[in-house]
Amino acid sequence: MAHDATIVWFRQDLRLEDNPAFLEAVRRGGPVIPVYVWAPAEEGAWAPGAASRCWLHHSLQRLEGRLEKAGSRLILRRGAAWDELESIARSTRAGALYWNRRYEPEIRRRDDMVKGRAHDLGLAVKDFNGALLVEPWEVTTRQGGPYKVFTPFWKAALDRLAPAEPVTAPRRVPAPESWPRSVRLESLGLAPRPDWAGGIREAWAFGEDAAWDRLETFLDASLDSYCDGRDQPGRDDTSRLSPYLHFGEVGPRQVWHAVQAAAAGRGSNAAKRGAEKFLSELGWREFSYSLLYNFPHLPAEPMQEKFAAFPWKHDAEAQRAWQRGRTGYPVVDAGMRQLWKTGWMHNRVRMIVASMLTKDLLISWQHGAAWFWDTLVDADLANNTQGWQWTAGCGADAAPYFRVFNPVSQGERYDPAGDYIRQWVPELAGLPGQWIHKPWQAPPDTLREAGVCLDDTYPSPIIDHSEARDRALAAFERIT
Ligand SMILES: Cc1cc2nc3c(=O)[nH]c(=O)nc-3n(C[C@H](O)[C@H](O)[C@H](O)COP(=O)(O)OP(=O)(O)OC[C@H]3O[C@@H](n4cnc5c(N)ncnc54)[C@H](O)[C@@H]3O)c2cc1C
């Protein structure tokens, strides 16, 4: 039995339950030294954005709390990851360094470097899968290459999928005799100054316990209605687990087993259908990771090469109107304001706003992806890249470019009573459902009674959708 310490390098796996690196470190015997290193410079162009940093602050605080309850600590450092890990390893005479894998290209390069250096220092290094149901290299076509289409990918993944039962964390974590130096969480500068994040704190609870509360609420209240409800932004029928999954406050294996158990326990067809659909959404997450791993250029370049020549426009004013939720299309503005206030946006609305940017306004998907990156609490390089390329029509298995979302009919279909608009665009709340998705067509009396004055209390559309659609299709023809 080993008596030297094991360093557990926490990254996007901010939980103790079913955390393979952490649990293996405990199993190895000897003291366990949990460490988090804030090293944004090592993430290349994709250092966590402002909303993600805010989430990370709270998530680390919760992890610290959980570790302290178990008689342990979270050692916090900032700087180059290897320099910090090396100094901790030397000062504690640690014998091993464990972590859970990440899949972003810059991080993989950094981790390879750390692995080499740690070996040279004589540490036993092990990395684990704490983030995915299947590794991105495990699901391949008959020819051995990666899948580029979701349905066969997920079918092949399901054939080989047998997620291990989640493992519970020990109540006590063995501590070293003396702890290495740690900086204070506040000194990492993750919490925004000045504090603009009240909306995020109001909308979310952070950490592992909150992730479980969220999951259980979803399973109790929404699993049965997920198939029908998941597309309606005015309802609360999706899980909202995305930031917890991104930061690893809950892992997909845990979610998988909890969903299967809930569906089996209820035994109804609705629960079975809901579970299948929900797990296939987790499948999209797996697919996105497979794409990012196998095509690491995707965050910067379109999957379909012809799109590199697409005649995108530069229109700072329109881009700003889109960012601020002032396009004059209520469903778009509602989504962008939900994002700005809470750091999250409903999936259906993400597709609508992304279509508005890339097709109506002809502004490149990279600009949209960058804005989401900064403002989403669930900003995730694999999912965000895939979501943007899908909507822009340039990705693997993407919506075809000629599928231009109509912001009025999408609103009328998925938010028929206008509840979502009333919540996020309160200046339109007095309009009847018939006009709430197209206020510029409402009769003057109706507008007056609702207290809406176009171009004063709410903007007219910044672009005519049907003209924009024709313009988009013409632009597309130039590259085909
Ligand atoms: C333009 C665009 C950008 C996006 N950017 C992100 C992002 O940065 N981070 C992110 O996690 N998701 C992103 N998505 C995917 C999706 O919108 C969110 O995962 C989802 O809205 C999160 O809400 P939820 O947890 O309630 O989802 P649920 O419907 O409850 O789904 C459960 C989980 O499955 C995964 N999932 C669901 N839909 C997708 C999808 N289409 N692609 C990949 N995984 C999915 C998520 O991890 C999600 O938490 C993006 C989609 C689009 C169209």
State which of 52, 216, 285, 353 you would mutate to test the pocket of ligand 1, scoring each by most atoms of that ligand within 8 A of its C-beta: 285
CA of 79 to the centre of ligand 1 (A): 31
Catalytic site includes residue 204: no
Nearest CA to ligand 1 atom 33: 282
Would the pLDDT of 1 be above 70? no
Bridge-based pairing of strands 124-128 and 96-100 is parallel
Catalytic residue among 365, 371, 373, 435: 365
User: Using CB atoms within 10 A of its CB, is residue 320 exposed (0-12), middle (13-18) or buried (19+)?
Assistant: exposed
83-142 pLDDT per residue, tens: 999 999 999 999 999 999 999 999 999 999 999 999 999 999 999 999 999 999 999 999
Spatial distance between the Cα atoms of 441 and 319, rounded to a whole number of angstroms: 24
CA of 347 to the centre of ligand 1 (A): 6
pLDDT at 3: 72
Spatial distance between the Cα atoms of 86 and 156, rounded to a whole number of angstroms: 41
Nearest CA to ligand 1 atom 18: 347
Catalytic site includes residue 424: no
Q: To the nearest whole number, what is the mean pLDDT of the chain?
A: 97
The one-character DSSP state at 328 is S
Peptide bond into 194 cis (omega under 30): yes
pLDDT at 480: 81
Contact (CB, 8 A) for 363 and 247: no
Would the CB of 376 count as within 6 Å of ligand 1? yes
State which of 255, 338, 355, 383 you would mutate to test the pocket of ligand 1, scoring each by most atoms of that ligand within 8 A of its C-beta: 383
pLDDT at 254: 98
CA of 244 to the centre of ligand 1 (A): 12
The one-character DSSP state at 194 is S
CA angle 120, 125, 128 (to 5 degrees): 150
Contact (CB, 8 A) for 391 and 365: yes
| CB within 8 Å of 450: residues ≥ 6 apart | 428, 429, 430, 431, 432, 442
Would the CB of 383 count as within 6 Å of ligand 1? yes
Mean pLDDT, residues 317-331 taken together: 98
Alpha-carbon separation of residue 403 from 358, 387, 400 (angstroms): 11, 15, 6
Would the pLDDT of 413 be above 80? yes
User: What confidence tier does 401 reach under pLDDT thresholds 50, 70, 90?
Assistant: confident
Spatial distance between the Cα atoms of 475 and 457, rounded to a whole number of angstroms: 34
pLDDT at 162: 86
Spatial distance between the Cα atoms of 419 and 416, rounded to a whole number of angstroms: 8
The one-character DSSP state at 134 is S
170-182 pLDDT per residue, tens: 999 999 999 999 9
Would the CB of 286 count as within 6 Å of ligand 1? no
Contact (CB, 8 A) for 208 and 249: yes
pLDDT at 399: 79
For residue 33 the two structure tokens come to 């030294």
Contact (CB, 8 A) for 332 and 407: yes
User: What confidence tier does 332 reach under pLDDT thresholds 50, 70, 90?
Assistant: very high
Contact (CB, 8 A) for 249 and 212: no
Catalytic site includes residue 19: no
pLDDT at 397: 82
pTM: 0.98
Nearest to 72, CA basis, from 185, 174, 178, 208: 174
Peptide bond into 40 cis (omega under 30): no
Would the CB of 421 count as within 6 Å of ligand 1? no
Catalytic site includes residue 383: no
CA of 185 to the centre of ligand 1 (A): 29
Catalytic site includes residue 284: yes
Mean pLDDT, residues 421-435 taken together: 98
Angle at which helix 208-221 crosses helix 50-69, to 10 degrees, equals 100
Catalytic residue among 43, 138, 281, 412: 281
Nearest atom within ligand 1 for CA of residue 218 = 30
Domains of the chain: 6-130 (3.40.50.620), 132-165+208-294 (1.25.40.80), 305-477 (1.10.579.10)
352-377 pLDDT per residue, tens: 999 999 999 999 999 999 999 999 99
Catalytic residue among 82, 99, 340, 388: 388
Mean pLDDT, residues 421-430 taken together: 98
Nearest CA to ligand 1 atom 6: 384
Catalytic site includes residue 269: no
